[in-house]
Amino acid sequence: MSAAEAPFDGIVCIGGEDWWYHNRGHFDFQIMRRLAKRWPVLFVNSLGVRMPSLRHDRMFAQRIVRKLKSLSRGLVEAEPGFWVFSPMVAPGRAGQMLSAWALAPQIRLAARRAGIRRPLLWMHCPAGAGLVAQIPHVAMVMQRTDRFEAFPEADPAEVGSQIASLKEQADLVIYAAPHLEAEERGQVAKSLLVTHGVDLERFLDAGMARREPADMAGITGPRVGFIGGIDRHTFDPELFLDVVARLPDHQFVMVGACSLPDGWCSAPNVHFLGRKPYDVVADYMAAMDALIMPWNRSDWIKACNPIKLKEYLAVGRPVITTDFPALDGWRDTVRVADDAATFAMWIREATSLGVGASGLSERLAAQTWDAKSAEIAAALVDCCGSGDARTADVAGHATMRRQVA
């Protein structure tokens, strides 16, 4: 069955991020932008799994301001066929209860404006679990690429209940981490493992061109880079600070938003450059002599498949990381350390030799986001082609149809 013959005429994606301010390297952004070349896509910006806290969240004001800016945009066709919608919704349990009556009608109207009448419903954000019963759909796919119940400030019981509901109702559950897919295989009707991809040409080109960002010009000496969010549920600050202290002659460059408390790091050889647009992230990676992933041992990391792994490898710089399950299949391409002494040793060796793993371009060629989206597109059509399928129109009500061979 081709895309044109699919029983759905578009995709409504309840996203886990916000298009207007999150890094556009995320799985759902990468896949939806490509699926939009086959079907119209309505990407609904994240509904949120936590309530921002003025007391405990150093980014409280920033989160509120950026969300208000996102809400002000409404419905926008950001790229041909790729529509982005920021519905009026409040975070947290109380906010979800207050806005539940209005959320589904907003999404149904936005879908119609995007030309979608018989949607496939793609669920990433657990807070949207209640929408499954309120938005008529041909099939429902769950994106399980993060263990949201391990997210800081989320209510594990509430989020766990939402996730269980989604898994029970999903026609297909898509995983990115082999460890999590294996753990939950018996809990879902059908699963598909699609590890994270890479925008290969972008990162290969950056690695060869080595275009130095202007704000790195004054940082001399061996540069050790971390690119991504600096958050407690993923990043190990104690390990990092120990490594930094062992390498005073190395410069550590941190590119990404930081939610750790003010003053957590005052080392003179650590430079915080802040969050950068996705379009220039590859240039920052390529400007480093080594790239690091000092992950902690949280349940989040155990269940994740970091996108930056293949991006790091594509730019061709040495990679030093702590261990995590999704390294399986790529361990020969990185240096793995479980303590600060070993981590520092590997960094010193890597910056002395100045080379990363070789011959990876062919190996990474099968890992592009284009290849991943093609695999997913086929799976979406397939999950609508057998068993129970729903006929749906976002302007009306869903009914069930038993397909007869």
pLDDT digits (tens, 9 = 90+) for 132-182: 999 999 999 999 998 988 887 778 899 999 999 999 999 999 999 999 999
Q: What local confidence, expressed as pLDDT, does residue 167 receive?
A: 97
Same domain, 130 and 273: no
What average pLDDT does range 284-299 have in this prediction? Answer: 96
Statement: residue 320 has pLDDT above 90: yes
Give the separation between CA 305 and CA 26, rounded to whole angstroms: 11
Number of domains in the chain: 2
In-domain check, residue 2: no
Same domain, 322 and 374: no
Q: What local confidence, expressed as pLDDT, does residue 213 receive?
A: 97
Q: What local confidence, expressed as pLDDT, does residue 337 receive?
A: 98
Yes or no: say if 155 and 49 are a contact pair by the CB < 8 Å rule. Answer: no
Type of residue found at 12? V
What average pLDDT does range 110-126 have in this prediction? Answer: 97
Statement: residue 387 has pLDDT above 50: no
Contact partners, residue 373, CB within 8 Å, separation at least 6: 30, 31, 34, 35, 197
What average pLDDT does range 364-384 have in this prediction? Answer: 96
> Considering the chain, what percentage of its residues have pLDDT values greater than 90?
72
Same domain, 272 and 312: yes
In-domain check, residue 359: no
In-domain check, residue 20: yes
Statement: residue 56 has pLDDT above 90: no
Same domain, 83 and 71: yes
> Considering the chain, what percentage of its residues have pLDDT values greater than 70?
83
Higher pLDDT, 268 or 55: 268
What average pLDDT does range 303-324 have in this prediction? Answer: 95
Same domain, 283 and 330: yes
Q: What local confidence, expressed as pLDDT, does residue 102 receive?
A: 81
Statement: residue 379 has pLDDT above 90: yes
Statement: residue 233 has pLDDT above 60: yes
Predicted TM-score (pTM) of the model is 0.87
Same domain, 342 and 377: no
Mean of all residue pLDDT scores within the chain:
87
Through-space distance between the first and last CA atoms of the chain, rounded to whole angstroms: 15
Alpha carbon 240 to chain centroid distance?
23
Q: What local confidence, expressed as pLDDT, does residue 134 receive?
A: 93
Give the domain extent around 216: 200-353
Q: What local confidence, expressed as pLDDT, does residue 25 receive?
A: 85
Q: What local confidence, expressed as pLDDT, does residue 19 receive?
A: 85
Same domain, 183 and 229: no
Same domain, 135 and 41: yes
CATH of residue 280's domain is 3.40.50.2000
Same domain, 262 and 326: yes
Give the separation between CA 40 and CA 33, rounded to whole angstroms: 10
Same domain, 45 and 189: yes
Same domain, 234 and 105: no
Same domain, 190 and 252: no
In-domain check, residue 56: yes
Give the separation between CA 119 and CA 7, rounded to whole angstroms: 9
DSSP class of 295 = B
What average pLDDT does range 254-263 have in this prediction? Answer: 95
Identity of the highest mean pLDDT range in 224-228, 299-303, 400-404: 224-228
In-domain check, residue 84: yes
